Each structure stands twice: as structure tokens, then as C-alpha cells.
Chain A
Amino acid sequence: MSREPVAVVGIGQTKHVAARHDVSIAGLVREAAQAALADAELGWADVDAVVIGKAPDFFEGVMMPELYLADALGAVGKPMLRVHTAGSVGGSTALVAANLIAARVHRTVLTLAFEKQSESNAMWGLSLPIPFQQPLLAGAGGFFAPHVRAYIRRSGAPDTVGSLVAYKDRRNALRNPYAHVRDPEITLEKVRSSPMLWDPIRYLETCPSSDGACALVLSDTAGARRAPRPPAWVRGGAMRSEPTMFAGKDYVSPRAGQDCAADVYRQAGIAEPRREIDVVEMYVPFSWYEPMWLENLGFAAEGEGWKLTESGVTELDGDLPVNPSGGVLSTNPIGASGMIRFAEAALQVRGQAGERQVDGARLALGHAYGGGSQFFSMWLVGSERPDA
């Protein structure tokens, strides 16, 4: 039995900002969903099922909000699934939706991820109370900074690499009309002189807290044929998980991330990711994660990732552009951040990424991770159908 090929035929996202005071949670998700349906030139009646994802319910203070969002997302009378796999959830949600089509359970699925972080304080939402966590950690930065420090020590990377990533992503964000943090006055010096938050991570090397939603319309081969714009085809997709902490865990380059990437490359027949993949949208909430993930995903040998960043390979006009959208550093509605990566990868291979388009992109990787560097979800999308 073969899988039905899955195509991305519609993409929509909100303009991401610190606080969307003008809309309710329902209004926020509906905006992204309608944009995706408009892109696909489909209506609510064309959708067979809705798959929604977001990070912890405490961020908005609504338990299982999909129950309340059923009406806003046109899901009444349809199946509705709610995925939650921590920070990787935006990616996982898209993959769960894609499987509904691959298994031929449904033909057209609306998938959406969101976070309205202005409803609460995400940093404290992420800081678990005692006895679940030691009192030293405040927010995600407190958790990840030691692992960044371990990477620097292990690879011998110069201290300046993190600021290069931040400077690049913040310039890329100026080309993305949906990006939250857009500073036309950005300079490398400004990044380097910004306050130190969690040594070695400076203020301008961290992600913001955003309100935003992202939606995709996925369809089968017949749906792709009817689509008004070129589809992005899912060439491979995978999820991997490992425990939060255990003796022998490699926080710098977790095995779950390596295994997940290897599975995606196997499905897509990729032997040399660095040469064959044209653009990467990777989940980089703190600047240093770009070189770390370049190694983890097989784009560079261990200890060599920072050299790609330093030599400009990951710039928009480089050989392997990373985060032309400005990435998580510029836009971070946590639950949606993974789906935005998946969506931006799809936009690239559809040739519809506007000013942030990478010329001739045919294969793009979308990547997300979450928890204590333990949950990974990725997909590889291409301009060609997988069996074509």
C-alpha cells in the first residue's frame, strides 16, 4: 500500500505582534485560517477535518481551547484534533494533518497553530514551580544557555558567532511583512552591545513573545491539481522524542534531532543535505542554535557549524540560506513557531516568499524542536511531486 502524496495548497499567517488587543483568540486563529483558505481558493465547506496545535494551555489560561475554537475554525460537524508536543508542536501538528491525507482518511485538511502570548507571561509560564524544577531556572533562556556554553567550549567557536546569526535574522525579518520584530536601524554593533540576559545570550540574540497564528491547507493529488497556485509537496516528514534528562544525554546535539533528520532524508532520498537542500527554516530561539542545529541536522560536521555561519553561507544570498523569514528570533508565537517554519519552507519552494524568496529554491527543510531539546519535528518540501 502506498501513501497518498500530500501537497500544501494554501498558506496563511497573521501579522505577528507583541499583543493583538484587537482580536479574541478565536479572531486570531480565524484570520490565519481564512488567509490560508483564500490562498488555496477554497471555502470552509471544502475542509474535511481540522488539526490544531499550540503549546501549554496555561499561556492563554484556556484548557483545551480547541473546544471553544470549533466554531471559529468551521469545525462543527467535522473531526478536530488537538496536538501538543511542546515547542515542536507547530511542526508536529502539520505532520499529523499530513498523515490524515497520506492514509487517505481525508482529502483536504486545515491545520493551524497559534499562541496568544499577551494573555500571560510566557517566561513564567515556562518556569515550572518547585518541586518540578530547581529554582535557578527562569524561562527557556535559563535552561538553554548552559548548553550554548557547552557548544562554544566543545567547538572552539569564537564568541562573535551568535551575534552574526542575530544580525542576519534581524535583517532578514525586514523583508518579511509578517515578522514581529523589525528594526530598520539594526547593526551588528547594536546586537553586540545589547544587555546580557543569560550568559552568553544577549537580549538581541533571543526570541520575542508574540501573538500570532499560522495555517496550512493540505490536500491530496487531486486537490493539488485543482489548486490555483503551485503546491509544495511533502517529500518527507518525521518526529522524534527522547527524555528530558538522563545520564549520557547530549544537549548540544541530541540524538533525537539527528535521527529525525536522517529519517526525513531517507524518505526524500537525500544523500548530501548540504548540497541538495536549497534553504532551511530552522527553529532558532537563541542565536547560537543556528550553528548547533547545522551540525545536528547534518549540514556540517561536528564542531564545524559555526564556520558556515561565520563565512556567510547561511545569509539570504549565501549557498545555504537559513531563516530567510527572520526566524524564531524575529517572530515567536510559541505554539505556532514550528508551523511558521514549515510554512515558510513551503512558501520558498512555491516561489511565493516575496522579498525573502531564495532564487530557484526547489527543496526546503522546515524544522522545529521543543521541551528540553527533546522533541523534534521536521518536514522536507519540494516543488516536484515525490513520485514524479
Chain B
Amino acid sequence: MTRDVAIVAFGQSEHRRDSSEFSEVEMLMPVLHAVLGQVGLTTDQIDFTCSGSSDYLAGRAFSFTMALDGVGAWPPIAESHVEMDGAWALYEAWVKILTGEAETALVYAYGKSSPGELRDVLTRQLDPYYVAPLWPDSVSLAALQAQSLIDAGLTDERRLAAIAARYGARTGADDYVVRPLRRRDCPPIHDGAAAVVLAAGDTARRLCPRPAWIRGMDHRIEAHSLGVRDLSDSPSTRQAAERAGAFDAPVDTAELHAPFSSQEVVLRRALRLGDSVAVNPSGGALVANPVMAAGLIRLGEAAARIHRGQSQRALAHATSGPCLQQNLVAVLEAS
């Protein structure tokens, strides 16, 4: 891995609770145009395109094939898709650039949760034989995790309230959704899209005055069964952070993909983030939560801080699966 690769542009949609008036393509296309516009590139100048999305959110098979219309894949393009959060699409594109086969890459992700009940839909990603038939919903599982943190003495409801308050929790949001999680501890559910442009070496320097260099990136998965995991800890996050070089030097910024306030507690511990680190200056997933794009947005927001000269070394994190089962960590630097 001797090649320098940077995030040179980032864009996202206005995330909405309900975008039934817009198709995925209509949601995505302005974002793609915006990021390409930032670096003055057109689709035919992009060497590799990779996206992340989920058919289950869209409620139809092959939903990503239509989204490709937003890219304008003609003449044909080198393209791939992961059925994962867009952060992992960025990972695939980063690897592609590392092979030397591409100089530039366009990465995008989108999700429309509004057509279904997200809490119900997400139960379909649990073990189909032993767990999914019970329909344990995503908030209930996050509540189990929060309770395990409280039982371990690692947080309490007062401290969770303080986390939520940092993100401007709505007043009157103190009713319980599932104990011990109150409405303010739970993410909004949004429809939205995000995109980034990656570039290698001198191309990145040419396209962007302050590229956000990817100094390391790694992702790890844990066991699926909640019963065999310590939900108050995130060993996969720590492992990915070690591999990404996150502990080699202090970071000034961390964008954490923590849809629930309690998950921020888990991640801060796993990543050993002190009080001097600006955590989620963007507002994080407690403010904007387009599922399947929210992880990619963490990488994009961290990079944008570097682009604006507000960060020298930032950590970005993305998660997937119930109770932080799978985690990705990237370290971005200004120089």
C-alpha cells in the first residue's frame, strides 16, 4: 500500500423524513452533480464508480440498477455496488485505486426508509431461523445494548441525556421509546443520499487545495448472535482502528456513526477518544440519518473539515448490523 489516496469532494442531499415525491435518481442526481462540480470532473473522467444501498429499504430487487441512471453510465463505466452502507463502497473504491487501475473514483450511497417501517424492516437482517421470526426491532436491540452499558456502570440516563443535548435534542423528547432509550436517544429516520470523489496522488492535489488523505482504513465484523457478544464494548471498532493506524497519533476530530446516544459511549471507549477531540461536529447520525448513506457521510464530513482547514487529523467511523456488529474506521490527514 504505497499509494496516496484522498477524499477530494463531498456532497449530500437535504435529508427528509419522507421523499415520496422523489425517485432515488431524483434524490441522487443533484448530489452527484454537486461533487463532480466541486472538482470540475465529468462522469467520463471518473475511472471507477462504486455505490452502496439496500434493496430491502427500496422494497424492490435490483434497486441500484435504476440509481445508475443518475450517474449517466454511457459510454459504459467501470462500476461496482455493495449491499452495504456507502462507507464500504468507499473502501472498495480505495482498494481499486491502490491497485493502480484507477486514478479517480466516484462513490455514492442512498437510502429511502420512508416507504416502510424501518424498525420492522431491519429485523429482516437478523438470523433468519432463530431471531428474525421474533421480530426484535432495531430500537429494542439498541436498548438492550444501552441497558448493558448502564449495568456495567459505563453510563446512566443522565449522561445519555447530556449526549443527546449536545445534538440539540428536541424539547419534550424525554418520553421512553424502549427503556432506557428515550426519544432524544434515538435517531431520526431520513431519506437521503451522499457522494464523495476519491483521487490518487498528484491528481488529488490538482483537484483539491486541501485533500483529505486516507492514511489508513480497515473494517472488522463481530459474531452475529447478540448472546455471544459483550454489547458494552466494540472490539471490532478497536481492531479496525488499530489496523487503520488511529492510535499512532492523536486525532482532533472524530465523526462517529452512532445512531443511538448510547452507542457513542461504546465507540468513544473503543476508540479512546478524550475530551479534546471534537466528536461529531456535523451533528452525527442523531441529527441526520439516511440509512445506508449515514456511514459514508461520516467519512465525507470528516474530510470536509480537513478541506475547510478545521482539522489536521480526523477519524471517521461507520457501522452496520445490529448493535454495532460491523465497523469501519478511516484516518484522514491534511498532509
Q: Which A residues contact B (CB, under 8 angstroms)? A: 1-3, 24-25, 55-58, 60-65, 67-71, 75-86, 92, 96, 99-100, 102-105, 125-126, 128-129, 132, 238-244, 246, 254-256, 259-260, 263, 371-372, 374-375
Contact = CB atoms under 8 A, between A and B. Distances in A.
Interface in B48-73: 49, 54-56, 60-62, 64-66, 68-69, 72-73
Contacts of A86: 62, 65
A87 to B, nearest CB: 9
Give the interface centre of B83, B121, B132, B225 by most chain A CB atoms within 10 Å: B83
B76 A67 contact: no
B67 to A, nearest CB: 10
Contacts of A64: 54, 56, 83-84, 125, 320-321
Interface stretch (B13-21, B96-104, B142-150, B255-263): B96-104
A79 B61 contact: no
A79 B83 contact: no
A25 B221 contact: no
List the 10 closest A-B pairs by CB distance, nearest first. Answer: A256-B76, A103-B98, A56-B61, A241-B79, A63-B56, A84-B83, A63-B125, A63-B124, A242-B76, A67-B321
Give the interface centre of A1, A79, A128, A246 by most chain B CB atoms within 10 Å: A79
Contacts of B222: 70, 76-77
B88 interface: yes
A129 B1 CA distance: 45
Contacts of A374: 65, 68
B302 to A, nearest CB: 20
Interface string B234-261: 0110010000000000000000000000
A239 to B, nearest CB: 6
A370 to B, nearest CB: 8
A67 B73 contact: no
Contacts of A129: 60
Given A96-B80, A241-B78, 11 more contacts: A3-B99, A57-B56, A62-B128, A63-B55, A65-B125, A68-B224, A78-B221, A104-B1, A241-B68, A241-B76, A243-B68
Interface of B: 1-3, 49, 54-56, 60-62, 64-66, 68-69, 72-84, 88, 91-92, 95-96, 98-101, 121-122, 124-129, 132, 218-225, 235-236, 239, 320-322, 325-326
Contact of A58 (B61, B74, B122): B61
A371 B141 CA distance: 36
A76 B7 CA distance: 29
Interface on chain A toward B: helix, strand, loop, or mixed SS?
A: loop
A83 B65 contact: no
30 contacts: A57-B55, A58-B56, A58-B61, A62-B128, A64-B84, A64-B125, A64-B320, A65-B125, A67-B221, A68-B125, A68-B127, A70-B221, A70-B223, A78-B220, A78-B221, A79-B219, A79-B221, A82-B83, A82-B84, A85-B81, A99-B99, A105-B95, A132-B60, A240-B76, A240-B79, A244-B65, A244-B66, A255-B75, A372-B65, A374-B65
B76 A75 contact: no
B6 to A, nearest CB: 16
A77 B239 contact: yes
B33 to A, nearest CB: 17
A55 B99 CA distance: 26
Contacts of A132: 60, 66
Given A78-B221, A100-B95, A241 B321 contact: no
Contacts of A103: 1, 95-96, 98-99
A361 B74 CA distance: 36
Contacts of A69: 224
Given A241-B76, A246-B74, A81 B92 contact: yes
A166 B311 CA distance: 62
B125 A75 contact: no
A62 B124 contact: yes
A73 B219 CA distance: 16
Contacts of A24: 129
A57 B55 CA distance: 7
A70 B2 CA distance: 30
B54 A1 contact: no
Nearest to B78: A239
A241 B220 contact: no
Contacts of A239: 78-80
Contacts of B65: 86, 244, 371-372, 374-375
Given A62-B132, A128-B61, A68 B83 contact: no
A63 B82 contact: no
Nearest to A101: B99
A371 B79 CA distance: 13
Contact of B82 (A75, A79, A84): A84
A296 B137 CA distance: 48
A259 B235 CA distance: 44
A85 B79 CA distance: 9
A2 B100 contact: yes
Contacts of B69: 243-244
A225 to B, nearest CB: 21
